Amino acid sequence: MTTTTDRLLPSHAEPASSSLAGRVAIITGAGSRSADIGNGRACAILLARRGARVLLLDAQLAAAQATERMIAAEGGTSIAAQVDVADAAQCQQAVAMALAAWGRVDILVNNVGIGGPAGNAVDLDLEEWDRALRINVTSMMLMAKYAIPEMRKVGAGAIVNIASVAGLIGGTPALLYPTSKGAVVNMTRAMAAHHGTEGIRVNCVAPGMVYTPMVADRMTPEARERRRLRSLLQTEGSGWDVGQAVAYLASDEARWVTGVILPVDAGATAGNAPSPDLKPDAKASSSF
């Protein structure tokens, strides 16, 4: 158990460990819509590789069970459970499930997110808007509502919310998705401020358009290539890239990090590659 004194007077002799041995993690949307690697599945596998026992929540039980089998094949420990995180009672039961199995909750990864309805403010259907906001935003508050009291008992905790670069910049055709992801971004900062003194860190990963089952069936090879070229690294990302960032933020390696929004996007939100059309400023050295 971490005490306040441990937090205030740390030993600086050694860097913090990346190990999650002994920790219990809850991951929402830990399945994937296909047999491939989505963000939630990658997070679950990587946290289990670091030694965490992982509760895999998904509305599709078979999807969570597929992740459970992947973790078991590597010798890790996890339990799959069917949970709709838009339902408060089910969120509460999920936290109770982790306690019943392993007696504590250290890590919560709020990964569930859907594309939601298309359209701008004029076109949108109000019921679809409300339902999608509940899945993308309210669910994260609900899971935190029940997980944080358990983290308080441990004296520490790490929450990682999955947003999107769509929550950082404009340009997304629909209104719902960027609005909900923008809410996740600032909910993270607000939660970090509320729970920092309790030793509970709250951070956010904002993935770029990684190639996961969420987008795979909606993209032509040409669109995929154009998207790759839009980033500074001109490299396609995967769920693993998102999972690595989550594993870092969930571990003690990030013990001094809270309230951070970490884009994992090959530099797409940092700017554009330098324009080859712009010649060096030849007068720069003589003007000053």
Which residues of the shown chain bind ligand NAD in the complex (CB under 6 A)?
A: 28-29, 31-33, 38-40, 57-60, 63, 83-86, 111-114, 135, 162, 164, 207, 209-210, 212-215
Token pair of 183 as six digits: 């809410």
Which residue lies nearer to ligand NAD by CB, 20 or 162?
162
Q: Which is nearer to ligand NAD, 111 or 251 (CB)?
A: 111
Q: Which of 146, 177, 211, 248 is catalytic?
A: 177
Comparison of 20 and 42: residue with beta carbon closer to ligand NAD: 42
- What is the distance, to the nearest Å, from the Cα of residue 173 to the centroid of all Cα atoms in its chain? 22
Are 175 and 182 contacting, i.e. CB atoms less than 8 angstroms apart? no
Q: Which is nearer to ligand NAD, 77 or 238 (CB)?
A: 238
CB of 70 to ligand NAD, least distance (A): 13
Question: Is 211 an annotated catalytic residue?
Answer: no
Smallest gap, in angstroms, from Cβ of residue 150 to ligand NAD?
Answer: 19
On whether the CB atoms of residues 164 and 214 are closer than 8 A, the answer is: no
**Strand, coil or helix: 34:** coil
DSSP 136: I
Least distance from C-beta 194 to ligand NAD, angstroms? 22
At 149 the three-state DSSP class reads helix
Least distance from C-beta 201 to ligand NAD, angstroms? 19
The nearer residue to ligand NAD, 162 or 249, going by C-beta atoms, is: 162
For residue 286, give the 3-state DSSP assignment.
coil
CB environment 51-85: b (16+ within 10 A), e (fewer):
bbbbbbbbbebebbbbbbebbeeeebebbbbbbeb
CB of 212 to ligand NAD, least distance (A): 3
24 burial type by CB count under 10 A (0-12 exposed, 13-18 middle, 19+ buried): buried
Give the 3-state secondary structure of residue 238: coil
Query: Smaller CB distance to ligand NAD: residue 59 or 156?
Result: 59
Q: Which residue is nearest to ligand NAD (CB)?
A: 113
Is residue 273 classed as helix, strand or coil in its secondary structure? coil
CB atoms within 10 A of CB 39: 31
Neighbours of 270 (CB within 10 A): 10
Cβ at position 275, least distance to ligand NAD in Å:
27
Active site residues: 177
